[in-house]
Amino acid sequence: MREIEYREAIREAIIEEMDSDSKVFLIGEEIGIYGGSFKVYKGLLNKYGPERVINTPIAENTIVGAAIGAAITGYRPIAEIMAIDFSTLAMDQIVNQAAKIYFLSGGSVNVPIVIRTQGGVGKGVAAQHSQSLEAWFYHVPGLKVVMPSTPYDAKGLLKTAIKDDGPVMFIEHKMLYSTRGEVPEGGYSVPFGKAEVKREGNDITIFAYSNMVIKSLNAAEELSRDGVSCEVIDPRTLVPLDIDSLVNSVKKTGRLIVVSEACSRGSVASDISARVTERAFKYLKAPVKIVAGLNTPIPYNSALEEASIPQVTDIVEAAKKML
Show which residues are catalytic. Answer: 60, 129
Q: Are 88 and 179 in contact (CB under 8 A)?
A: no
**How many of the other CB atoms lie within 10 Å of CB of 43?**
12
- CA–centroid distance for 190 within its chain: 14
What backbone phi and psi angles, to 5 degrees, belong to 244?
-65, -45
Give which of 164, 165, 80, 67 is closest to 118, Cα–Cα: 80
Compute CA distances 210 → 27, 111, 121, 163, 294, whole Å. 24, 25, 12, 22, 17
Identity of the residue numbered 59: A
**How many of the other CB atoms lie within 10 Å of CB of 301?**
11
Residues 29, 103: Cα–Cα separation, whole Å:
30
Residues 6+ away with beta carbon under 8 Å from 90: 60, 61, 63, 64, 65, 81
What backbone phi and psi angles, to 5 degrees, belong to 56?
-115, 165
Alpha helices, DSSP H, located in 108-150: 134-138
